[in-house]
Structure 1
Amino acid sequence: MSTSGFDSYIADNQFRKRNPLSKDSETYHTEKEKRRLKRSEGKPRRFTSLDFHYDKDTQTCYCPAGNEMWRSGTHLKSNHKHYTRFTGYLRDCQACPLQAQCMRKPPTDRGRQVQFINDESRKKLNYGDKMKIKIDSPVGRRQYGKRLGCIEPVFGNITTNKGMNRLTLRGQTKVNAQWQMYCLVHNIEKLREAMH
């Protein structure tokens, strides 16, 4: 895709979350919370790493309840990112009034664990990161905004009405042929509707 020469945009479900207009929008956050409550059947939102107070310089971390956590190590994951992990003291987590928001089950052998990425400044951009930068640019936002009227109806018709929710052939040539057949049927239907 990156070497094809096409001005491509790949769908990104975090697009609205990163939109500066959404940050100050009361409606966006209210509706988002309503959807979350419906999905979680009214359960409170669980804490993420963003809710923990991490100081990169002193390498200390405090949980949302204000308890200090101990550094349980630095790890290099398969994606070549360095993580610093902190673990809550078991006695603090067992007696914590925010336990339901922090852990799925009451702790028995260890407290809540949380990790933070280090060396972000030296992180190499992957294709996903480059796509996010492209979408977040003023031109990218304009182009990506056209998706709702141009692209979604086509995919909606082909996947829902035509029942094509997966490709059944293998190999790029065969997949292209199968996709083009569905697109051809979609276009013939549009022409027929335009003639009536």
Structure 2
Amino acid sequence: MSGTFDELGRKKAKLERASKRILERHQSQDNLSKEQVNQDLKQKEKLDKSADKITQFLATHQEKTGSKGKPVKSNITDPDSAKMTTSKGTIQGYNGIAINDDKHQIILQAQVWGSVGEQQTLQPAVAQLKQQLAQVSQNPQLTKQHTKFTADSGFNSEENLEFMAQSGFDTYIADNQFRKRNPLFKASETYETEQEKRRLKRRNGKPRLFTSDDFYYNETTQTCRCPAGNEMWRSGINVKSHHQQYTRFCGYLKDCKVCPLQQQCMRKPPIKTGRQVQFKNNDSRKKRSYMDKMKVKIDSPKDNNLL
């Protein structure tokens, strides 16, 4: 029997009402056969037993919540498990998570978690991994710095990426849209969404051109990367335009000429200069999230430790 605490409370009340109706029927009818009486008593005993089981469970357990703080269903027989949707339907079970050393094929940490989503398991799993490394490594801090930690896109979230950025590991967790940005998958129908197909049809097959919001500008270091991950050079400071001062960057011509994203970036093939982009000085651009930073790191052809 599963449900949130509120659902279980309603189920308990329903069971108690059904048990009460059996007792009321017996009190109002004296001509029931012995066989009917025994059958009803067995049914009443079963209902009372289920209701008592819910009562005991609600009194001895705390309600579980999901990643968004909302109550999730609990199973009174196996309260540590969770209802999970799989390719074979909804099951009552666990998420099995393992962290292994890819080079030596050694499992460093393994645990099962009774949670609905695997995103919630990353932080406790990494915390346990740190404990393991502290026990087996003479210099755990140095070990973390030289370790590349990878996980599939199911673990990608702002909270998890912020946690990993502070963990000391060189982390790579792609988002579930990274294939759409990867030139290697550009010609693949598998990763082309129906929505994007409709947009291309409306624009006669022309993709949306990148704007300054698609470029990765670091105001502190005064550096910029294009959507393809290539470095750009600063071509101007305090450039005046429309009574506003800008910092301007330009892509290297050698990069822009062979860039697989050229059609999305420039209206015409580059001849003399690469793509130019400018940003307002002292502009209150929104702070880049950890998910944005991870996109830059995943999309970049080089390891630049951008997180």
TM-score by length of 1: 0.42
* Higher helix proportion (structure 1 or 2): 1
The structure with the largest alpha-carbon Rg is 2
* Higher strand proportion (structure 1 or 2): 2
TM-score by length of 2: 0.27
